[in-house]
Amino acid sequence: MDYKKLSEEILELSGGAGNVTAFTNCMTRLRLDLADQAAADVNAIKKLDGVLGAVPGEQLQIVVGPGHATRLRDAFATVSGIKPGAEVDADGQVKVRDVAAETRGKVKARQTTPIQGLFRHIGNIFIPIIPGFIACGLVSAIVNIWKMIDGDVTANPWFLALAGLGGILGGALNLITGHNTAKEFGGSPIMGLVAGAVPYMPALAGIAAAADGSSEAKLLNIPVFGAISPALGGIIGVIATAWLFTVIEKWVRKRVPAALDLFVVPFVTLIIGAVVCILVIMPVSALVMKGINWLLIDFALEKGGVFGGFLLASFFLPLVMLGIHQGLTPIHAQLIADVGYTQLLPVLAMAGAGQVGMALAVWAKTKNDRLKKIIKSALPIGFLGIGEPLIYGVSLPLLYPFITACAGAGFGGAFVALGMQITGGFGATGMGVSGLLLTGLISNGQWLWYVGGLLVSYIMGFVLTFFFGFKEKMVERLA
């Protein structure tokens, strides 16, 4: 891909440097904040060589695929003369950003509902961690495959080193999450890191039951909702604690002389934040996690069984499309911490497999060279579980293939849920990977059920799309 040429074309079709107020990237997309959305020719951008799709809105999102997004961002910075994240005036000149005002304006403009705002914040917290999830996930997959091949390998020092390497992010996730949460809400990242450590303090295990022998734990003679122990409330508790730290920090800073800021603000933030965390946030977060686990695991998967698996897999693609699927990351992390694996991920991973089956069907039926080229570019990473290029470049613009892809994924989800019922349960021992790469992370040696689910999703996505989801006239929607 010629990133310089593509950047020049995108810049021109987006209204020029004067219309780009800021830009950044995620794993698969270049994201442009535009002063005037109407000045961007989104349809023309979609037709550019190398572009797999474009999503208009408050932030123009140009889908180019993993690996390409970072390189395109760097080229765009060179071509436009704008640093990623920098704001420019109407003449294209870089100006000093009022970060607070900018953040308030963007939040008000984009958060049409509190739920959307919540998922957006969660996404911003966890998206930067994705490369770490992928790296550690792949290492853990190698470890699991090695163990399946050689059951006596656990004494091998190289095996132990790899196992430790794969578990690094899991062991530090609370600290990284606290750091990113504080950064997201405008607090001091280092205080966020400290906030992430508070719910996991080993000293919390020393809070004994009440002196009268009841099971109710007490701290400073104040009753707590259940026994206090390290990690109570999990990642959700970390996010809430780090957010509280930023609130306290800002409140105290407004009331403390600048000369005392360095000493008073972090100290007061830590003391007050830690007390509220232990007495309120941890037990309440634990209740929230229990409710979520009941809904998604006990009710949807265990009681819902095959039907529950079908619904979960079918409705995951719309979550990805809306960008709110990152809201499930804390749930996966907590399930892995609690039981050693997340039952949800193998079921939800079927969504990407349904996309692959859909893409193969469209490839087989269409005569349009441009559509074939888009599929050729996006299909390999689709097998590896990265489905956004196929969503925005193929299924969503064509519409009906998006529906058949969801339905095809549902059948795969039902198959995996059936396997969980028959075997007594299994899941993914790590996060960050999906598709074929997730096979090595399936617990309890039940990877064949997962692979079977992928095959079912491929086949049903293909069959439903081939016979019901695609007609050549739909290609006109890509124009």
26 tagged catalytic: yes
Contacts with 246 (C-beta within 8 Å, 6 or more apart), sequence order: 181, 182, 185, 186, 187, 188, 191, 192
Number of neighbouring beta carbons within 10 Å of residue 161: 11
**Strands of 20-25's sheet in order across:** 20-25, 29-34, 59-63, 53-55
Buried b or exposed e, range 38-67, using 16+ CB within 10 angstroms:
eebeeeebbebebbbbbbeeebbbbbbbbe
SS3 category, 222:
strand
Number of neighbouring beta carbons within 10 Å of residue 33: 19
DSSP code at position 256: S
Do residues 192 and 180 make contact, with C-beta atoms less than 8 angstroms apart?
yes
Backbone torsions φ then ψ of 219, nearest 5 degrees: -130, 125
Do residues 153 and 214 make contact, with C-beta atoms less than 8 angstroms apart?
no
Question: Which member of 26, 136, 277, 406 is catalytic?
Answer: 26
SS3 category, 156:
coil
Sign (positive or negative) of CA dihedral 451, 129, 444, 152:
positive
Do residues 334 and 291 make contact, with C-beta atoms less than 8 angstroms apart?
no
226: part of which helix (H) or strand (E)?
A: none
Distance CA 291, CA 281 (A): 15
Do residues 227 and 243 make contact, with C-beta atoms less than 8 angstroms apart?
no
Contacts with 453 (C-beta within 8 Å, 6 or more apart), sequence order: 346, 347, 349, 350, 353, 412, 413, 415, 416, 419
DSSP 201-214: -GGGGG-PBPTTS-
Contacts with 147 (C-beta within 8 Å, 6 or more apart), sequence order: 153, 154, 159
Instruction: Please identify every residue annotated as catalytic.
Output: 26
